């Protein structure tokens, strides 16, 4: 009986019997054709925004999807592991709200060899640049010989089914969520059914589409429809929100009490575009933001001749709508490099060329819209004064890669303030001495370097005390004396296993001791935390789908922690 309904519905919606369609359509109206929506209304999702999906181009025939091969390389200590695919998600596109039993149908017209996928996300993944924690999703895909169904259930379980299948030139993939399970159809045939572990329990579906590298297809239709009386399907067309700053929130307090100082934080595209409370707290409290991962090389430049700007664009547009400045992060780093950069046998001259092109393209795209850039990230050995020598940049150019990159960035946007960003340089030590000498050498040569970012990722436990504010003040002064701006660029205070109300008070005092210092010293251009809520934090352990970090200003429920209030007080105290 259900299968019967499914077949009938599938036929109607896919137009296979379109000639007989007139009568059917009137009993099953497309949303666009009907002002009145009842339970039977179906929706053409391609009528919504697909122009902000990386790798996609909206054409007259539909949405053309090209393979970008965007992936997350494993961290240095697991370099032999395979990369993790990180396909684009249409975060600014339609959001489907579903209830009960429903149908989704995608039409893929391949250009050449088939190799295309459509993903329905019930919960979005948490994406970092070293790992990705999947949410809940169903992916339907086609290769030349197979239909592939992949299910992510949100607690790290992954299921993949493959069915022998020869796709038509225009292949129709369909998924029906019926009575506790999924029925999968391809080109009109039922291929199988699979238990549904609650993939769409959030009641909302976000879409993604991607192709294998070197392949492309046009998504010509993407249809959603309810299947039974009592089921419901509707579409939301999201917009980038505009939020009034909180008059007693951090940014307004800083604007009136310490106008030299931007109050910043790192931002991720997925929560920004999917979690209203995240966007709200962000715009209420901060007037500068740093894309946490969206502008890193592997995220923004996944293939030699392809960029993926969508996430970075969304962050920059959100900032503009909400009168926030953007600090770009990061152009030249030894990490987060796609395999095509690290594994191709380029000549030194080619590496230099590709770096120049990368900088010109990325900085050029946001010219006049990005206040400052981390041009050089973490150039020094982890705990020693010498430069790191392992990156393709150093190998091709030696120390000169630093001056070269700063000059190229300056050329691409002469108004942007250019930084070197480093960790473990907060106090006077061998490493910060090395950073100081590097900065001085660059300035002596007239290289456009304007500032230093001190990351300030701190640990605070019984055993481990974070860098003392006075020690930081003393060290930072010598950089200021060189004529440089300074910024606290990535502050978080990790309590590890020792989170408790008392430790949160200590954490709060520590945060405010650093902000006080920055408020007092006009050479500080920004005080920026590395995220603002423990709900989405790089301090979370990647293997813990249910876990959270504890180093930031808002808790996982988005409630302000003592640290938030302490920062407000530090601003208010300042005249
Ligand atoms: C971190 C991100 O927060 C994580 O999401 C990612 O997995 C790894 O990188 N120094 C930097 C940042 O300059 O880019 C790093 O960000 C944290 C350390």
List, as one string, the DSSP characters of 448-463.
Answer: ---EEEE--EEE-SSS
- According to the model, what pLDDT value does residue 107 have? 98
Query: Is 180 in contact with 166 (CB distance < 8 Å)?
Result: no
CA 530 / ligand 1 centre spacing (Å):
8
pLDDT, mean of each 10-residue run, the chain (575 residues): 64 45 35 50 96 98 97 89 95 97 97 96 92 94 96 89 94 94 96 95 98 97 94 95 98 98 98 97 98 98 97 98 98 97 97 98 98 98 98 98 99 98 98 98 98 98 97 98 98 97 98 98 98 95 80 98 98 90
The distance from CA 158 to its chain's CA centroid, rounded to whole angstroms, is 22
Separation in Å, CA 502 to CA 423, 461, 509, 562, 563: 27, 12, 11, 10, 12
Q: At what angle do helices 469-481 and 430-444 cross, to 10 degrees?
A: 20
Q: Candidates 71, 74, 128: which one to mutate for ligand 1, based on the most atoms within 8 Å of Cβ?
A: 128
Name the residue at shortest CA distance from atom 15 of ligand 1: 292
DSSP 165: -
Torsion of CA 407, 455, 126, 313, to 10 degrees: -30
Of the residues 378, 426, 485, 516, only one is catalytic, namely 378
Q: Candidates 538, 540, 552: which one to mutate for ligand 1, based on the most atoms within 8 Å of Cβ?
A: 538
- According to the model, what pLDDT value does residue 35 have? 41
- According to the model, what pLDDT value does residue 20 have? 28
Name the residue at shortest CA distance from atom 3 of ligand 1: 538
Specify the ligand 1 atom closest to the Cα of 131: 7
- According to the model, what pLDDT value does residue 12 have? 61
- According to the model, what pLDDT value does residue 193 have? 94
CA 278 / ligand 1 centre spacing (Å):
19
List phi, psi (to 5°) of 489: -105, -25
Specify the ligand 1 atom closest to the Cα of 457: 18
Specify the ligand 1 atom closest to the Cα of 329: 14
Specify the ligand 1 atom closest to the Cα of 127: 5
CA 162 / ligand 1 centre spacing (Å):
36
Of the residues 292, 408, 458, 490, only one is catalytic, namely 490
CA 334 / ligand 1 centre spacing (Å):
12
CA 517 / ligand 1 centre spacing (Å):
24
- According to the model, what pLDDT value does residue 40 have? 77
Name the residue at shortest CA distance from atom 9 of ligand 1: 129
Strands (E), 439-507: 451-454, 457-459, 485-494
Query: Is 525 in contact with 479 (CB distance < 8 Å)?
Result: no
- According to the model, what pLDDT value does residue 179 have? 84
Catalytic: 399?
Answer: no
Ligand 1: residues whose CB is within 6 Å? 128-130, 292-293, 377, 421, 455, 490, 538
CA 88 / ligand 1 centre spacing (Å):
20
Specify the ligand 1 atom closest to the Cα of 377: 13
Q: Candidates 71, 74, 266, 292: which one to mutate for ligand 1, based on the most atoms within 8 Å of Cβ?
A: 292
Name the residue at shortest CA distance from atom 6 of ligand 1: 129
CA 538 / ligand 1 centre spacing (Å):
7
- According to the model, what pLDDT value does residue 546 have? 73
- According to the model, what pLDDT value does residue 421 have? 99
- According to the model, what pLDDT value does residue 58 have? 98
Q: How many helices (H) and strands (E) does the chain have?
A: 15, 28
Catalytic: 490?
Answer: yes
List phi, psi (to 5°) of 152: -110, 130
Specify the ligand 1 atom closest to the Cα of 531: 3
CB burial class (10 A; 0-12, 13-18, 19+) of residue 288?
buried
List the beta bridge partners of residue 107: 172, 221
List the beta bridge partners of residue 265: 289, 529
**CA 308 – CA 445 distance, rounded (Å):** 35
Query: Is 60 in contact with 220 (CB distance < 8 Å)?
Result: no
Give the global pTM: 0.94
């Amino acid at each position: 009986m259900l299968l019967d309904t499914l077949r009938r519905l599938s036929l109607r919606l896919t137009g296979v019997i379109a000639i007989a369609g007139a009568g059917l359509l009137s009993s099953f109206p497309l949303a666009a054709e009907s002002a009145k929506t009842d339970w039977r209304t179906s929706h053409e999702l391609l009528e919504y925004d697909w122009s902000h999906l990386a790798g996609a181009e909206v054409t007259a025939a539909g949405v053309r999807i090209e393979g970008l091969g965007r992936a997350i390389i494993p961290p240095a200590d697991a370099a032999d592991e395979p990369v993790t695919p990180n396909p684009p998600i249409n975060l600014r596109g339609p959001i489907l709200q579903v209830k009960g039993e429903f149908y989704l149908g995608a039409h893929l017209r391949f250009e050449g060899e088939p190799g295309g996928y459509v993903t329905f996300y019930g919960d979005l993944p948490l994406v970092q640049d070293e790992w990705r924690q999947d949410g809940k999703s169903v992916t339907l895909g086609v290769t030349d010989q197979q239909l592939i169904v992949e299910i992510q259930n949100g607690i790290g379980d992954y299921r993949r089914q493959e069915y022998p299948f020869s796709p038509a030139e225009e292949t129709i993939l369909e998924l029906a969520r019926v009575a506790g399970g999924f029925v999968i159809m391809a080109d009109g045939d039922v291929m199988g059914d699979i238990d549904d572990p609650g993939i769409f329990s959030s009641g909302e579906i976000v879409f993604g589409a991607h192709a294998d590298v070197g392949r492309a297809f046009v998504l010509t239709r993407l249809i959603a429809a309810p299947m039974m009386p009592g089921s419901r399907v509707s579409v939301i067309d999201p917009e980038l929100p505009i939020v009034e700053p909180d008059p007693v929130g951090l940014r307004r307090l800083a604007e009136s009490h310490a106008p030299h100082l931007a109050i910043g934080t790192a931002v991720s595209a997925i929560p920004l575009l999917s979690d209203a409370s995240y966007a709200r707290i962000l715009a209420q409290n901060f007037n500068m933001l740093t894309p946490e991962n969206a502008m890193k090389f592997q995220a923004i430049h996944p293939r030699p001749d392809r960029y993926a700007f969508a996430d970075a664009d969304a962050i920059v547009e959100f900032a503009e709508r909400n009168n926030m400045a953007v600090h770009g992060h990061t152009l030249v780093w030894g990490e987060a490099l796609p395999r095509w950069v690290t594994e191709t046998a380029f000549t030194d001259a080619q590496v230099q060329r590709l770096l120049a092109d990368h900088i010109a393209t990325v900085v050029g795209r946001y010219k006049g819209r990005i206040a400052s850039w981390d041009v050089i990230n973490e150039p020094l050995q982890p705990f020693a004064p010498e430069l790191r020598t392992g990156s393709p940049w150093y190998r091709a150019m030696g120390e000169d890669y630093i001056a070269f990159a700063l000059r190229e960035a300056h050329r691409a946007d002469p108004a942007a303030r250019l930084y070197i960003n480093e960790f473990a340089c907060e106090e006077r030590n061998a490493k910060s001495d090395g950073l100081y000498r590097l900065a001085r050498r660059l300035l002596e040569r007239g290289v456009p370097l304007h500032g230093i970012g001190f990351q300030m990722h701190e640990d605070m436990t019984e055993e481990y005390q974070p860098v003392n504010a006075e020690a930081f003040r003393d060290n930072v002064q010598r950089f200021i004396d060189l004529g440089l701006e300074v910024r606290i660029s990535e502050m978080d205070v990790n309590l590890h296993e020792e989170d408790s109300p008392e430790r949160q008070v200590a954490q709060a005092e520590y945060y405010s001791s650093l902000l006080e210092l920055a408020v007092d010293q006009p050479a500080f251009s920004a005080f920026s935390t590395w995220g603002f809520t423990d709900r989405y934090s790089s301090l979370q352990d990647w293997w813990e789908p249910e876990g959270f970090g504890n180093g930031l200003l808002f808790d996982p429920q988005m409630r302000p922690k003592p640290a938030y209030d302490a920062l407000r007080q530090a601003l208010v105290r300042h005249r």
